Amino acid sequence: MSPSYSLLAVASLALCLPVTNGLAIATNDSYLEYAAAVYSLKDTYNSANFFSSFSLFSGADPTGGFVNYQGSLSSAQSAGLVNTNNNQVYMGVDHTSTLSTSSAGRPSIRVSSNKAYTHGLFIADIAHMPGSICGTWPAYWLVGPNWPAGGEIDIIEGVNTQSTNDITLHTSAGCSINISGSQGGTVLSNSNCNAGNAGNGCGVTTTTANAYGTSFNNNGGGVYAMQWETSGVYVWFWPHGSVPADITNGAPVTGNWGLPIVAFNGGSTCAVDSHFYSQQIVFDTTFCGQWAGAVWGSSSCSGLASSCNAYVAGNPSAFQQSYWLINSIKVYQQ
């Protein structure tokens, strides 16, 4: 089982953290606030406004990736890394250049919403995500200021040939969660969300089919909903074709959706509002680094090249499917 590392700077990482805490219990607990929430639409991000509402990150990857993040939108456009063809938001990586391992890394982008949010229901309709490809580490997440003070919510994340999604929270000290009320198949790796705890945060592995990587893409993508309120953080997923009508009608009612993939319950063990605030929405695709690179040697990818960086540098065409294609992201609040 892969530990989930923070997407921001992590000083030292203890690999191979033993998995604790075992089982998810599928129950319908009345304390789950999501059943009661009524939401209205605050922001829609789509091909019409995405690149004027999100900013490109430049500089070295805080997670140590072999990536050359392009900070200029016009250069990213002319390099074919981003476009808004067919009313969709495309964010890809360079898949034609053979690089040297001494280069800055493979060109890619990382974007953050200019607007920050506290609480809300974030509904991402995604047509394609980076595939389950050796060397890659894609993520869709939210992050607050002064990490880890403002917290981090990792909604979609994985590395290398991973086929199912990992969902993780990172906080400052003093927040631990339980996942009572999650779907069966969701397994808690660590209940302590403290990012100082070996960088792992509190996260789950999931078994939801077609919800990550290559299988997500082959099945035509889908919709992720993340609800964040005082009581906790909850995540649902549906493939296209099974999305609840209240979502497609623009009037989501979380109480109609049944159990989430994961319910991260705060309550008396985590004051959610003091650990999660003012978060920006982020998408990125990085390579190797503190997670994909750290587990390369023990992964099924290890035979492909002498190192993760060497594989990523030398095999551009492997990364043709390493792109996000987003229909929309809608942010609702109560």
Check if the beta carbon of residue 305 is closer than 8 Å to that of residue 292.
no
Structure tokens that stand for 28 in this block? 């319908």
The residue (of 9 and 35) whose beta carbon lies closer to ligand NAG is 35
Active-site annotation holder among 152, 154, 166, 284: 152
The nearest distance, CB 268 to ligand NAG, in angstroms, is 5
Residue carrying the six token digits 């090249």: 305
Report whether 223 contacts 238 (CB < 8 A). Answer: yes
Nearer to ligand NAG among residue 31 and residue 75 (C-beta): 31
Surface-to-core class of residue 191, CB atoms within 10 Å of its CB (0-12 exposed, 13-18 middle, 19+ buried): middle
Q: How far is CA 179 from CA 25, 189, 312, in A?
A: 8, 11, 36
Q: What is the dihedral of CA 142, 146, 150, 155, to 10 degrees?
A: 20
Q: Kindly indicate which of the ranges 73-81, 88-96, 252-260, 312-320 contains the residues binding ligand NAG, using the contact rule CB under 6 A.
A: 252-260
> Of 87-95, 138-146, 221-229, 263-271, which segment contacts ligand NAG by CB under 6 A?
263-271
Distance CA 69, CA 56 (A): 8
**Closest to 82 (Cα-Cα) out of 96, 93, 69:** 93
From 33, 61, 154, 157, active-site residue: 157
Q: State which residue, 21 or 163, has the beta carbon closest to ligand NAG.
A: 21
Integer-rounded Cα Rg, in Å, for the chain is: 19
φ, ψ dihedrals at 310, nearest 5°? -65, -40
Shorter beta-carbon distance to ligand NAG: residue 25 or 60: 25
Residue 269 near residue 177 (C-beta atoms within 8 A): yes
Active site residue 229: no
**Binding to ligand NAG by residue 268, rule CB under 6 A?**
yes
Is residue 78 part of the contact set for ligand NAG (CB under 6 A)?
A: no
Q: How many residues bind ligand NAG (CB under 6 A)?
A: 11
When asked if residue 259 is in the footprint of ligand NAG (CB under 6 A), the reply is yes
The distance of closest approach from Cβ of residue 226 to ligand NAG in the complex, given in angstroms and rounded to an integer, is 15
Helices (H), the chain: 50-53, 73-78, 213-218, 245-248, 272-275, 308-314
Residue 65 or 203 with smaller CB distance to ligand NAG: 203
Q: Tokens 């942010």, residue?
A: 331
Site string for ligand NAG, 8-47 (x = CB under 6 A): --------------------x--x---x------------
Residue whose CB is less far from ligand NAG, 37 or 109: 37
Q: How far is the CB of 266 from ligand NAG (least distance, A)?
A: 6
Closest CB to ligand NAG: residue number: 267
The only residue of 4, 210, 265, 328 in contact with ligand NAG, by rule CB under 6 A = 265
Minimum Å distance from CB 111 to ligand NAG? Answer: 32
Q: Which is nearer to ligand NAG, 30 or 102 (CB)?
A: 30
Neighbours of 270 (CB within 10 A): 25
Active site residue 152: yes
Q: Select from 47, 83, 180, 214 the one that contacts ligand NAG (CB under 6 A).
A: 180
Question: What b/e readout covers 237-265, taking b as 16+ CB neighbours within 10 angstroms?
Answer: bbbeeebbeebeeeebbbeebebbbbbbb
Q: Which stretch binds ligand NAG (CB under 6 A): 84-92, 118-126, 264-272, 296-304?
A: 264-272
Active site residues: 152, 157
Residues forming contacts to ligand NAG in the complex (CB under 6 A) are: 28, 31, 35, 178, 180, 255, 258-259, 265, 267-268
